[in-house]
Amino acid sequence: MKNKNLYLVLSSEYNQKKNVLAIAEQAIFGGVDIIQMREKHLSDAEKIKLGKKLYALCQTHKVMFIVNDDPYLAQQLNADGVHLGQTDLEKYPLIKARQIIGQNKIIGLSTHNIEQFKQALNQGYDYLAYGPIFETKTKDYHIGTSQISQVLAWANLPVVFIGGINLRNIDLVLEKGAQNIALIRAIMQAENITQTVKEFKQKILRGKMQLRINGKPQEIKDNFTLETLISDKGLNPSSIVVEYNAQIMPKQKWAEVILKQGDIIEIISFVGGG
């Protein structure tokens, strides 16, 4: 699982007027990256029937498919992974969930405060969810945005922020460095689902990007060129050589190279004679 994801928690209880498969398809056309099937009120047979259709849809469009709460169902559907809540851990501790779903599948966990988040780090999860950030109708509390930067500073894996996020407040979350956003109502209840997803995705992609500079992960703004990066770091162009994705990049081309997510850059400084 990489960053810059828009994560849809798909649940028919939040929109009983539209077919849930149609919502999923429209969201995929808009650019959603991950779909989680969260259907707490369906029977096991109904979950399997819906899950098979969602799996096929996600496979066709190369969208990650996650099942909520139940690693056995995720395994049966051959989903990409399972998402666990705090209340699931007694029944499905991480070791058991991993045994059920397999070593090459994704396991995510919901966390709702700093203590839960820190405890979940280095346990073996593939990503953590953190929230609710803003007020929602399903929770009687919310965390706010003040802890986002601290959570990201501790994180050594992707963090998905969730809870009451919409087009009016998402910038408050992204400004703190968030790169992965999960939504329920903001997509499920949108008039034009495809267009709404596009707007969310554009906002996420306009945020900061992460690349590696001399082996260390660093964040930069979008639309940075190599020339902008060198200038921003206060480096003297005449005393360095830049390797961009394993290729020496001539100085005259620095202004043409627009940096993108995941780029690897080595900056070598000359000392003395070279």
* Residue-wise pLDDT tens digits, 176-195: 889 999 999 999 999 999 99
More confident residue, 33 or 140: 33
Q: Which is nearest to 7 in space by CA: 58, 72, 73?
A: 58
Q: Are residues 14 and 94 in the same domain?
A: yes
Q: Are residues 264 and 140 in the same domain?
A: no
Alpha-carbon distance 27 to 33, whole Å? 9
Number of alpha helices (DSSP H) and beta strands (DSSP E) in the chain:
10, 13
212 catalytic per annotation: no
pLDDT at 17: 81
CATH number at residue 218: 3.10.20.30
1 part of a folded domain: no
Residue 74, pLDDT > 70, answer yes
pLDDT digits (tens, 9 = 90+) for 19-63: 999 999 999 999 999 999 999 889 999 999 999 999 999 999 999
Residues 208, 219: contact at Cβ < 8 Å? yes
Furthest-apart CA pair in the chain: how many Å? 74
CATH number at residue 98: 3.20.20.70
- From the list 4, 38, 47, 201, the catalytic residue is 38
Residue 110, pLDDT > 90, answer yes
Q: Are residues 32 and 75 in the same domain?
A: yes
- 3-class DSSP state for residue 227? helix
Domain count, the chain: 2
Q: Are residues 215 and 227 in the same domain?
A: yes
Residue 261, pLDDT > 70, answer no
Residue 274, pLDDT > 50, answer no
Residues of the domain holding 232: 211-269
Determine the Cα angle at 161 with ends 137 and 192, to 5°: 65
Where among 165, 188, 207 does a domain terminate?
207
- From the list 18, 53, 139, 198, the catalytic residue is 139
Residue 146, pLDDT > 60, answer yes
**φ and ψ of 216, to 5 deg:** -110, 135
DSSP-derived pairing of the beta strands 34-37 and 6-10:
parallel
274 part of a folded domain: no
Q: Which is nearest to 196 in space by CA: 37, 57, 29?
A: 29
Terminal-residue alpha carbon distance, the chain: 41
pLDDT-based confidence at 222, cuts 50/70/90? low
- From the list 11, 110, 201, 208, the catalytic residue is 110
* Prediction pTM value: 0.76
Q: Which two tokens stand for residue 217?
A: 């992960």
38 catalytic per annotation: yes
- Range scoring the smallest mean pLDDT among 34-48, 95-109, 203-217, 241-255: 203-217
183 part of a folded domain: yes
pLDDT at 213: 86
139 catalytic per annotation: yes
Where among 207, 239, 259 does a domain terminate?
207
